[in-house]
Structure 1
Amino acid sequence: MSDEHLKYVTAIEQFDIRDLMEKYGEDVWHYAFFLTRRHDWADDIAQDVFVKAYRGIDSFRGQSSIKTWLLRITRNTAYSYRKLAFFRRTVGLELGKLRDTRPSAENEYLTQSYADDIWSHVMKLPDKYRETLVLSAHYGMQTEEIALHLDVAIGTVKSRLHRARARLAEAMERSEKDGAI
Structure 2
Amino acid sequence: MEHKVIENCNHDEIDYVIREHWQDVWNYSFIITKDTHLSDDITQEVFIKVFKKWNSFRNESSVKTWLLKITRNTALNYLKSSYFKRISLVSFFRNDKEYPSAEKQFLEKETMNEVWDSVLKLPQKHREVLILDAKYELSYDEIAETLGVSIGTVKSRLHRARARVSKILAEDEL
- Report the TM-score when normalising by structure 2: 0.94
CA distance in 2, matches of 1:12, 1:77: 24
Query: Which segment is superposed worse, 94-103 or 54-63?
Result: 94-103
Change (3 A) 1:98 1:140: closer
Unaligned runs of 5+ in 1: none
The answer to whether structure 1 residue 4 and structure 2 residue 22 are counterparts is no
Q: In the alignment, which residue of structure 2 is the partner of 1:170? A: 167
The answer to whether structure 1 residue 122 and structure 2 residue 122 are counterparts is no
Q: In the alignment, which residue of structure 2 is the partner of 1:71? A: 68
Specify the SS of the correspondent of 2:24. Answer: helix
Query: Which segment is superposed worse, 60-69 or 103-112?
Result: 103-112
Written as runs of structure 1 = structure 2, the 5 A alignment for 1:42-81 is 42-81=39-78
Q: Which has the higher contact order (CA 8 A, sep 6+)?
A: 2
Superposed CA RMSD in Å reads 1.3
Give the length in aligned residue pairs. Answer: 174
CA distance in 2, matches of 1:48, 1:8: 20
**How far 1:37 moved relative to its partner?**
0.7
Check whether the contact 1:135–1:146 (CA below 8 A) recurs between aligned residues.
yes
Structure 1: which 4+ aligned runs deviate by more than 2 Å? 96-101
**How far 1:8 moved relative to its partner?**
3.8
CA distance in 2, matches of 1:98, 1:143: 25
- Report the TM-score when normalising by structure 1: 0.91
